[in-house]
Amino acid sequence: MLALSAMLKRAASEVQEYLLLLGQVVAGLVRGPRYWRDVVEQLDVIGVGSLVVVLLTGVFTGMVLALQSGMTLDQFGARSVVGRLVSASMVRELGPVLTALMVTGRVGSGIAAELGSMVVTDQIAALRSLGTDPIRKLVVPRVIAGTVMLPVLTIIADAVGILGGAIISQFQLKVAFSVYWNNVVAGLFFQDIWMGLIKPLVLGFVIVSFACHVGLKTTGGTQGVGRATTNAVVGASVAVLALDFLLTKAIITFLY
């Protein structure tokens, strides 16, 4: 009972500290000083740096989706509508979620390790002693970059995923490209586009802010940095999946 109470207290304190960080991030967005050079640098690190992994994830997901759904659709003699399934699945669900998970693994771990190392080697304290607010200097640029770049990366993943599906349809399922493309367009609605953009916007903000929170709370030397990195990836991955469900439910309720 005591252990449970202590665990709940720790969880409540963790949530409180995370919300406090979010408040500071919002304050940093509204009020200067702003470090635009760091924002540009992070846009490059998070966006351009994640491009290859997102391209590979997108194309293979689209291809396997076309293969699997082609087999199922064959049972109903509906192989020609495979494009409809691929586009809807990629844009509404797989594009945002898989891109978010890839960015969590690559960027979330990197941020937690970098900030964690800075904490344990006193670089964060040195920043503060030199008159720089670490939230404005380190967290705000990363959060801006994550929130802006995840939707961009998701659009790219969606596009290459649909393209991957087209390749499989053409060469494996023998569905003509024009048929596939007509179905891709027919299968998408404006609500789907909104869903495909709102999700990565929220997920990008959460992944990066959570990784920053975990990194800045690192204690216990290099072992602590390893622990922080693991916690950031595991915590953000679970948050991505849970938030995906909640966002899907909310968007279906309000937009469809």
Q: State which of residues 5, 130, 174, 253 lies at the interface with another protein (CB under 8 A).
A: 130
Q: Which is nearer to another protein, 93 or 133 (CB)?
A: 133
Q: Which is nearer to another protein, 123 or 182 (CB)?
A: 123
Check binding of 128 to another protein (CB under 8 A). yes
Smallest gap, in angstroms, from Cβ of residue 113 to another protein?
12
Stretch that binds another protein, among 44-52, 63-71, 118-126, 242-250 (CB under 8 A): 118-126
**What single string gives the DSSP state of each residue in the chain?**
-HHHHHHHHHHHHHHHHHHHHHHHHHHHHHSS---HHHHHHHIIIIIGGGHHHHHHHHHHHHHHHHHHHHHHHHTTT-GGGHHHHHHHHIIIIIHHHHHHHHHIIIIIHHHHHHHHHHHHTTHHHHHHHTT--HIIIIIHHHHHHHHHHHHHHHHHHHHHHHHHHHHHHHHTS---HHHHHHHHHHT--HHHHHHHHHHHHHHHHHHHHHHHHHHHT--SHHHHHHHHHHHHHHHHHHHHHHHHHHHHHHHHHHH-
Stretch that binds another protein, among 61-69, 119-127, 192-200, 241-249 (CB under 8 A): 119-127
98: tokens are: 């898989």
**Do 208 and 146 touch, CB atoms closer than 8 A?**
yes
Q: State which of residues 12, 48, 125, 234 lies at the interface with another protein (CB under 8 A).
A: 125
Q: Which is nearer to another protein, 84 or 137 (CB)?
A: 137
Smallest gap, in angstroms, from Cβ of residue 122 to another protein?
4
Q: State which of residues 72, 121, 172, 230 lies at the interface with another protein (CB under 8 A).
A: 121
Q: Which is nearer to another protein, 65 or 118 (CB)?
A: 118
Q: State which of residues 129, 174, 253, 254 lies at the interface with another protein (CB under 8 A).
A: 129
Smallest gap, in angstroms, from Cβ of residue 236 to another protein?
23
Angle between helices 221-255 and 95-103 (to 10 degrees): 170
Check binding of 132 to another protein (CB under 8 A). yes
CA end-to-end span of the chain, whole Å?
Answer: 45
Q: State which of residues 57, 87, 104, 117 lies at the interface with another protein (CB under 8 A).
A: 117
Stretch that binds another protein, among 2-10, 121-129, 147-155, 235-243 (CB under 8 A): 121-129
Binding site for another protein (CB under 8 A): 33, 35, 117, 121-123, 125-133, 137
